[in-house]
Amino acid sequence: MSEKIVISPTSRQEGHAELVMEVDDEGIVTKGRYFSITPVRGLEKIVTGKAPETAPVITQRICGVCPIPHTLASVEAMDDSLDIEVPKAGRQLRELILAAHHVNSHAIHQFLIAADFVPENLMAAAINSVSEVRKTAQYVVDMVGGEGIHPSEIRIGGMADNISELARKKLYARLKQLKPKLDEHVDLIIGLVADKGLPEGLGVHNQPTLATHQIYGDRNEFDLERFTEIMPESWYDDPEVAKRACSTIPLYDGVNVEVGPRARAVEYKGFNERGVVAQHVARALEQKTALSRAITILDELDTSAPARADFDITGTNKLGVGAIEGPRGMDVHMAQVANGKTQFYSALVPTTWNIPTMGPATEGFHHEFGPHVIRAYDPCLSCATHVMVVDDEDRSIIKNEMVRL
């Protein structure tokens, strides 16, 4: 006889979501459904009809956890729509900011999962390690982006300014000093995850991975012709879940996919491990990759070179695409500019891709492990909200339609 276990909201994540698990007599999950219950805010609608420069400023506020990927995806979409060739220094500085953000954001997630993996006698050391890593990584974002949360220096056409040679040398020295500490931190995290002794195969699924770049992002690796987006009632077989879900279901080649650090490791590093442990290992190892890339950029950067292109803001109504590999996965923003105004805007964010994959990944194991599976993806729900449900007093649906975030 099956029973339904509902966790609402799921914990230690950004935003609100539910995990609904059908379990058998032994408590084993036979059907897992994960979905957002975070209300829509309409940010994509807000930028429509306004000057293109408005979009990065507004959409970076989709989320306070991942503002860097949204800012970059927005300016990349605008660059594409306006046919702008960003100067090399501008591209390098953008990539530098994102690389530092990867290190910082992954460390935040490691703090959130500390209660799952860190024994009490090591908790203080683990938290101190997270804090030290974050402090340096966020310093880079502050210095290059102008602000750590809502970076003002990232602009359509590149960056507002190049950094000074003194700043380059200072950042380079700070990151070189961080490297041995980060190596120790990554070893600590991977060791603690291994020591937890999670069931073998927990969180394994058979869905394909999707990524466009090892660290930054490449719009040419995202094929719009292979992408479709459907409503939740076309996906969930539970009417109550379908009625309450607040995100659409994005498909690539007609199937749901996994995005994020493990997906990038699979696509670009030959990483073959799967499941919850693999998620945490791939995320930790990516911190080292991101730091190494940041150091390389600072070593190569010409601080006397221009960082922003001149351009005509009028636009020709071309659909521009910005594909950025945020910490949680591929973040795609799409924009059309004509007559100096944004005519269309849409954001397809990392957790939206992962939502239909996360629920089924809980299946086959005891429901107590369900939250472990969900947290392994570091979900961010406010970004993912695209559906508005309007019901009457008896909760019968009056209107259920896709809206632009």
Model pLDDT, residue 394: 53
- Torsion, CA 54, CA 59, CA 63, CA 65, rounded to 10: -80
Examine the pLDDT at 386 and tell me if it is beyond 70. Answer: no
Mean pLDDT in residue range 293-298:
98
**pLDDT category, 395, cuts 50, 70, 90?**
very low
Q: For strand 329-338 and strand 316-326, is the pairing parallel, antiparallel, or unpaired? A: antiparallel
pLDDT at 398 exceeding the cut of 60: no
pLDDT over 60 (residue 404): no
Assess whether pLDDT exceeds 90 at residue 61: no
Domain CATH for 270: 1.10.645.10
- Kindly tell me the burial class for residue 114, based on how many C-beta atoms sit within 10 Å of its own C-beta (0-12, 13-18, 19 or more): middle
Quick one: which of 246, 249, 273 has its CA closest to 262?
273
Question: Model confidence over 166-209: pLDDT tens digits?
Answer: 999 999 999 999 999 999 999 999 999 999 999 999 999 999 99
Q: What is this structure's pTM?
A: 0.93
User: Of the ranges 37-41, 277-281, 320-324, which one carries the lowest mean pLDDT score?
Assistant: 37-41
Q: What is the predicted pLDDT for the residue at 236?
A: 94
From the CA atom positions of the chain, what is the Rg in Å?
A: 21
Write out the residue range of the structural domain in which residue 299 sits.
Answer: 3-402
Burial class (CB in 10 A: 0-12, 13-18, 19+), 306: middle
Query: DSSP secondary structure string, 313-363?
Result: SS-EEEEEEEEEEETTEEEEEEEEEETTEEEEEEEE-HHHHHHHHHTGGGT
Does 213 have pLDDT greater than 60? yes
Domain count, the chain: 1
With 0-12 CB in 10 A as exposed, 13-18 as middle and 19+ as buried, what is 81?
Answer: buried
Are 87 and 308 within 8 A, CB to CB? yes
**pLDDT tens, position by position, 135-156:** 999 999 999 999 888 899 999 9
pLDDT above 70: percentage of residues in the chain? 93
Going by C-alpha positions, the residue among 391, 373, 331 that lies closest to residue 116 is 373
Cα(90)–Cα(236) distance, integer angstroms: 43
Query: In this predicted model, which residue has the larger pLDDT, 53 or 390?
Result: 53
Express the helix, strand and coil content of the chain in percent, nearest 5 each: 45, 20, 35
pLDDT of residue 392: 53
Per-residue pLDDT tens digits for 336-352: 999 999 999 999 889 99
Structure tokens at 369: 């492990």
pLDDT at 265 over 80: yes
